[in-house]
Structure 1
């Protein structure tokens, strides 16, 4: 539904917070920066587009190029018309615009998460096509408050942080959130002042969705979460940096599949040790998230047990061996997949498989045959054998060079929050990978 607005001769000042945030963001952009704004047609994204255009003009920054894109999820009958409405608005302002349809079957469960993944994938692909330097998305202070409450409800273990001001998508391009400190009310004040109508999405009032239920429970209470989220983000960034240092000083990665940890590692900074252990477990287990506080406590308690103590968690085996703690992928749940010719698939959340051949290739866990892997030679013999058995192996008929196998870091494969960049890059180095790209859209 389109919300109509009228403009009087009154001077509007309620939108100053939105304009100030846009000015701050635009003033720091590097020369010639190309910004792709994700615009749904709702008040938040239209406000971001309008504010950034106004900021670039008033800052005399004609070098800043602003484009827009609308993702049509195809979940409502009106979505195509709404995307066309955005396209017409952009055309009147000479802003390049593209509608990006989400095609294919939609899942019966987990629809919102699937829609989010599809949305960011489509935006990242489009940004690459047009050469954009950054994708600007219009999450607000209201969204931040809801996110904090939802994350605290699901997992109260500290540090509970909100959305990062910047996030790396698919290891390729950064998104920025210039409006995280701006309320939705202030954005709408700006649109009313500029005579810009917006579209109200009925799904934003559908109590089927967790965010809508949380929004109703908060009742618009967004007075403090900006400061709270900022502080939580600073804490998480410091933990990430401390964990990155701990990784270098106390952990040795073996064959991109196992970790050898000095048991003195947690004495100086227990919080950083837990943070690192959580990330390591996710990477080695091929999961997007590491274990929670209780499981981490169990692992650390086991590490204090006598030589030979062991446990499994997060698809990993943990074993105490003298003054060291070893962790590697457990053998259970290792799948077999088929990779079609000319395609790429992820195996076990740990390895990217590229089939360069003209035939279907089957990938599964390595068998007991074959030579020991030199990279695991420093592991205790039994763990060395287990590590080898959890490695990917192409089926018979695959020729050398026809199948590419490369390591991935599952927690950061799709989304890497800016406050975790330090740890992610140290992990990438430890696992023999190139560093993740730094945000490059701001000037020096």
Structure 2
């Protein structure tokens, strides 16, 4: 329902103006922003503040567009999107409603909705030529995220939201309100007599975030401070992992990583971070195994020649002073790619079919020709690596490019250097830098 705005004014509302002004002043000339607006207080406050501060800060060259995602999960969602459209029209801001079409999954609905939301926003940014997507996540969102990730994964790699995240390797999503309290945004709106929409799901304790919100209510600022510390630590860890990759890893044909086992033992924290990313990339899963599985992989570095294990869809094998990692020859599916379409196969390759006929993709299998001897791999591993490649016709209108599962969907800004180190090793283009995308 719509929440009427009382007349009370709080000085905390100035924090909203300050954060918006600082963000706008950081942008390149003629920057075009796509603002994600649900109709809730946070996003209405973000759009309003950016619109007002464009003029107040002398950045009227910055252009705003808005989009509302209708997930089709609540009957009221279409009405709420229409209300946002009217709000935007009154301010002269272009708006579009993006609908998540098709069947919804029976399990993992919230994660699927999140992925759909970001995909739709990314597509819209590309359609209108926006330089960045702007999201209204607040200090409360930051605190809840850090607390949830710690509860799931422990404290070693847990961090909050990144100030910017690259979506689908194309569009940067920026969060300028991560140091702003939700109450300050409401105060900002109330001072202007503006209303917003309260989403009833924000009070539904069936959702993990709502339960966590209640638990961290009195620790928001402390957790937000810890999230900033964790982000700095994550940047340092990621840079250490990138340096370790350059010094200790050889990538064979984009299929097998050969790692100096001694170096992994010497650089424990960066090594675990790097291993997690490599397993994700070579196994084609969005996340590495983490936790106890990484402990077992680390222990394998000190194991005798021939020791092996599997985790994260990868085989790990010790050969003399090296640890080899490659995709296991199991759960390799077949797929069809329609003419003019593209698809990600096995989470590891993006296949482009520019031909006029459907393309059938299958794994090479055990009888396939192994990698060339010059690759420098043990013969057995060369055969295994050859078996997990996709079989494609050798024609110009069909291509396969490496798909880096840990980064090609969502790349938090603190991992950009590591992601580009891997991109270079896998012989694929670098990820776009925010400095050239939307910053001065």
TM-score per shorter chain, which class?
Answer: over 0.9
Instruction: Give the direction of change, closer, same or farther, for the CA distance of 1:399–1:323 in structure 2 (3 Å limit).
Output: closer
Cα distance in 1 for partners of 2:400, 2:20 equals: 43
In the alignment, which residue of structure 2 is the partner of 1:34?
32
Task: Give me the whole-angstrom Cα distance separating, in 2, the residues matched to 1:80 and 1:120.
Answer: 18
- In structure 2, the residue matched to 1:52 is 50
Of 13-22 and 262-271, the range deviating more from structure 2: 262-271
Aligned to 2:240: 242
Partner in structure 2 of residue 419 of structure 1: 414
Task: Indicate the residue corresponding to 1:400 in structure 2.
Answer: 395
Partner residue, 1:349: 347
Q: Which residue of 1 aligns with 2:6?
A: 6
Whole-Å separation in 2 of the counterparts to 1:27 and 1:375: 55
Q: Which residue number in structure 2 is paired with residue 383 of structure 1?
A: 381
**Counterpart contact for 1:318–1:326, Cα < 8 Å:** yes
Q: Give the TM-score, by structure 2 length.
A: 0.96
Pick from 420, 423, 428: which aligns with 1:428?
423
Q: Mean Cα displacement is larger for which, 224-233 or 433-442?
A: 433-442
Q: Residues 105-163 of structure 1: CA distance to partner in whole angstroms, max 9, x if unpaired? A: 11121111111111111111111111111100000110111111111111104121000
- C-alpha distance 376-182 of structure 1, shift in aligned 2 (>3 A): farther
SS of 1:223's equivalent in the other structure is helix
Query: What is the rounded CA distance, in whole Å, between the counterparts of 1:111 and 1:316 in structure 2?
Result: 28
Change (3 A) 1:408 1:176: same
1:156 equivalenced with 2:154 (yes/no): yes
| CA deviation after TM superposition for structure 1 residue 369, in Å | 4.1
SS of 1:222 mapped into structure 2: helix
Q: TM-score, normalised by structure 1?
A: 0.95
Q: Which position in structure 2 is the counterpart of 1:25?
A: 23
Match of 1:219?
Answer: 217
* Cα distance in 1, alignment partners of residues 216 and 359 from structure 2: 52
- May I ask how many residue pairs the two structures share in their alignment? 439
Structure in which a larger fraction of residues adopt helix:
2
User: Paired residue for 1:63?
Assistant: 61
**2: CA distance, partners of 1:139 / 1:418:** 16
Equivalence for 1:108:
106
Q: Which residue of 1 aligns with 2:195?
A: 197
The answer to whether structure 1 residue 206 and structure 2 residue 204 are counterparts is yes
| Shift in Å, 1:46 | 0.5
Query: Residue 191 of structure 2 aligns to a residue in which SS?
Result: helix
Q: How many angstroms apart in 2 are the aligned matches of 1:119 and 1:350?
A: 23
Q: 1:379 and 1:116, CA in 2 relative to 1: closer, same or farther beyond 3 A?
A: same
Q: Deviations over 1:43-81 (max 9, x none)?
A: 000111111112211111111111111111121111111
Q: What SS does the corresponding residue of 2:166 show, helix, strand or coil?
A: strand
8 Å contact 2:164–2:172 — kept in the other structure? Answer: yes
Partner of 2:331: 333
Uncovered stretches (5+) of structure 1, i.e. residues with no partner: none
Aligned equivalents of 1:65, 1:418: Cα separation in 2? 24
Q: Does 2:259 match 1:261?
A: yes
Question: More deviation in 373-382 or 169-178?
Answer: 373-382
1:372-404 deviations in Å (ceiling 9; x for gaps): 33287310000000000011114xxx5623432
Distance 1:88 1:226 in 2: 34
Residue 341 of structure 1 deviates from its aligned partner by: 2.5
Q: 2:364 aligns with which of 363, 366, 384?
A: 366
Question: What is the CA distance between 1:35 and its match in structure 2?
Answer: 1.0
C-alpha distance in structure 2 between counterparts of 1:339 and 1:376, whole Å = 33
**Counterpart-to-counterpart distance in 2, 1:181 and 1:343:** 41
Q: Which runs of 5+ in 2 are unaligned?
A: none
Distance of aligned partners of 1:442 and 1:133 in 2 relative to their CA distance in 1, 3 Å threshold: closer
Residue 289 of structure 1: how far off its partner (Å): 0.5
Paired with 1:295 and 1:269, the residues of 2 have a C-alpha distance of 18
- Taking the aligned partners of 1:239 and 1:331, their CA distance within structure 2 comes to 31
Label 1:319 to 1:404 Cα distance change in 2 as closer, same or farther (>3 A): same
